[in-house]
Amino acid sequence: MKIYVTAALFILFSSFASAAPQSVGTVILSFGQNTAESAGVQRVLKRKVDVYADDLLKTGDTGRLQIRFTDGARLSLKPGTEFKIAEYQFDEANPEDGKAVYRLLKGGMRTLSGQIGKVDKEDYTLDAVVATIGIRGTDFTVDKQGDEVKGSVNNGAINVANKGGASDIAKGFSFQLVGAEGAINRFRTPATAYRPDVPKSQAVSLPAASVVVSEAESEAVALAGDVNSESTQTITVAASPDPSGNGETASNESVVALAFSQSGVGSSIGGVEISAGSIHGDDASSGITVDRSLTGGDVITGVVFNDESSLYSDPCSPCVVSGPPIISVVVDQDKATLGTAEVSWGRWESGYTVVENASLGSFHFMYSEDLTPASTITSKTGTLLYRYDSTHGGATSPQDRTGSTGTLTDYSSVTGTDGHTYSGTYLLVNFSAQALREVGIEADIGGATYVLRDDPSLGGDISLNSLLNGQEVALTGSCSGGGCNPVSTNLSGHMSLDFVGDNAEGAVTSYAAEGINAVNSQPAAISGTILFKAE
pLDDT score of 349 more than 50: yes
User: Both 183 and 255 in a single domain?
Assistant: no
pLDDT in the model for residue 388: 98
pLDDT score of 217 more than 50: no
Q: Which of 188, 209, 239 is the last residue of a domain?
A: 188
The stretch 261-270 carries a mean pLDDT of 48
User: Both 276 and 391 in a single domain?
Assistant: yes
User: Both 181 and 302 in a single domain?
Assistant: no
Q: Which of 149, 164, 188 is the last residue of a domain?
A: 188
* pLDDT, tens digit, 9 for 90 and up, residues 357-391: 444 467 899 999 999 999 999 999 999 999 999 99
Q: Does 326 map to a domain? A: yes
The residue that leads in pLDDT, 22 or 19, is 22
Q: Does 202 map to a domain? A: no
User: Both 176 and 252 in a single domain?
Assistant: no
Q: Does 462 map to a domain? A: yes
Q: Does 231 map to a domain? A: no
Most confident listed range (124-133, 150-159, 487-496): 487-496
The stretch 182-203 carries a mean pLDDT of 55
* pLDDT, tens digit, 9 for 90 and up, residues 287-344: 788 988 877 888 888 887 665 544 444 445 556 777 777 776 788 899 999 988 999 9
Q: Does 313 map to a domain? A: yes
Question: What separation, in Å, do the N-terminal and C-terminal C-alpha atoms of the chain show?
Answer: 39
Q: Does 151 map to a domain? A: yes
pLDDT score of 506 more than 70: yes
Q: Show Cβ contacts of residue 252 under 8 Å, excluding neighbours closer than 6 positions.
A: 280, 281, 282
By residue range, what is the domain housing residue 512? Answer: 247-534
pLDDT band for position 459 (cuts 50, 70, 90) = low
User: Both 280 and 157 in a single domain?
Assistant: no
* pLDDT, tens digit, 9 for 90 and up, residues 56-84: 999 887 677 888 899 988 888 888 899 99
* pLDDT, tens digit, 9 for 90 and up, residues 389-430: 999 999 999 998 888 899 999 999 999 888 899 999 999 999
pLDDT in the model for residue 20: 60
Give the percent of the chain with pLDDT over 70. Answer: 77
Q: Show Cβ contacts of residue 373 under 8 Å, excluding neighbours closer than 6 positions.
A: 502
Q: Which of 148, 165, 188 is the last residue of a domain?
A: 188
User: Both 129 and 267 in a single domain?
Assistant: no
Rounded Cα–Cα distance for residues 409 and 440 (Å): 10
The stretch 465-487 carries a mean pLDDT of 89
Lowest mean pLDDT, pick from 80-89, 168-177, 273-282: 273-282
pLDDT band for position 141 (cuts 50, 70, 90) = confident
φ, ψ at 211 (rounded to 5°) = -145, 135
Taking every pair of C-alpha atoms in the chain, what is the biggest distance, in angstroms?
82
User: Both 470 and 324 in a single domain?
Assistant: yes
Question: Which of the 8 DSSP states describes residue 324?
Answer: -
φ, ψ at 123 (rounded to 5°) = -75, -10
User: Both 159 and 282 in a single domain?
Assistant: no
User: Both 177 and 252 in a single domain?
Assistant: no
Q: Does 205 map to a domain? A: no
The stretch 500-509 carries a mean pLDDT of 96
User: Both 255 and 167 in a single domain?
Assistant: no
pLDDT score of 98 more than 60: yes
The stretch 100-118 carries a mean pLDDT of 87
pLDDT in the model for residue 372: 94
The stretch 199-209 carries a mean pLDDT of 29
The stretch 173-187 carries a mean pLDDT of 89
Q: Does 262 map to a domain? A: yes
pLDDT in the model for residue 248: 87
Q: Could you write out the three-class secondary structure of 376-410?
A: HHHHCCCEEEEECECCECEECCCEECCCCECEECC
pLDDT score of 51 more than 90: yes
User: Both 496 and 403 in a single domain?
Assistant: yes
User: Both 142 and 267 in a single domain?
Assistant: no
The CATH number of the domain holding residue 139 is 2.60.120.1440
> Of 182, 186, 110, 111, whose CA–CA distance to 148 is shortest?
182
pLDDT in the model for residue 519: 92
pLDDT band for position 260 (cuts 50, 70, 90) = confident
Mean pLDDT of the chain: 78
pLDDT score of 461 more than 70: yes
Structural domain count, the chain: 2
The stretch 266-287 carries a mean pLDDT of 66
The answer to whether 405 and 527 are in contact (CB under 8 A) is: no
pLDDT band for position 118 (cuts 50, 70, 90) = confident
Cis preceding-peptide flag for 243 (omega within 30 of 0): no
